[in-house]
């Protein structure tokens, strides 16, 4: 459903949020290892997330990536998905056609419409804090 970049971006954001809740910054090597992503690819994704103001970075001995504590609860999956994949998952055609509308629907247009609405709601209502707390408690996992 999401691109590989977007999957990594979501996992990285959750990992960073989990550490940020404990006021820890994490380096990109640790992030890449945790989300099982190539380091160069991870660095590029993190750069996009910083430019999109989803995460922050600081340089130096105590540097790394983090999310301010008060922003963790107000950062939603929809923001990450839009920053990495654009809004095609939220508004695009289920088959990826350039032109798909109620007037000229693709074969799955009507069936995909309700699924897309459910996905939109989940992405708009799910914040990083709840996902980070799931990882912290051991109820959910970023890798197996």
Per-domain residue ranges for the chain?
Answer: 4-137
Tell me if residue 95 falls in helix, strand or coil: coil
What is the CATH number assigned to the segment(s) 4-137?
Answer: 1.10.10.10
pTM of the model as a whole:
0.91
Summarised one tens digit per residue, pLDDT across range 17-51 is 999 999 999 999 999 999 999 999 999 999 999 99
Summarised one tens digit per residue, pLDDT across range 95-105 is 888 888 889 99
């Amino acid at each position: 459903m999401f691109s590989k970049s977007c999957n990594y971006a979501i996992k990285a954001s959750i990992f960073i949020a989990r550490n940020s809740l404990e006021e820890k910054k994490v380096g990109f090597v640790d992030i890449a290892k945790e989300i099982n992503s190539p380091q160069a690819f991870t660095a590029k994704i993190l750069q996009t997330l910083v430019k999109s103001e989803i995460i922050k970075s600081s340089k130096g001995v105590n540097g790394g990536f983090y999310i301010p504590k008060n922003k963790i609860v107000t950062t939603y999956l929809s923001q990450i998905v839009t920053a990495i994949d654009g809004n095609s998952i939220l508004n695009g055609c289920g088959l990826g056609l350039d032109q798909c509308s109620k007037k000229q629907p693709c074969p799955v247009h009507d069936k995909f419409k309700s699924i897309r609405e459910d996905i939109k709601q989940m992405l708009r209502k799910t914040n990083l804090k709840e996902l980070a707390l799931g990882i912290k408690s051991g109820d959910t996992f970023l890798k197996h």
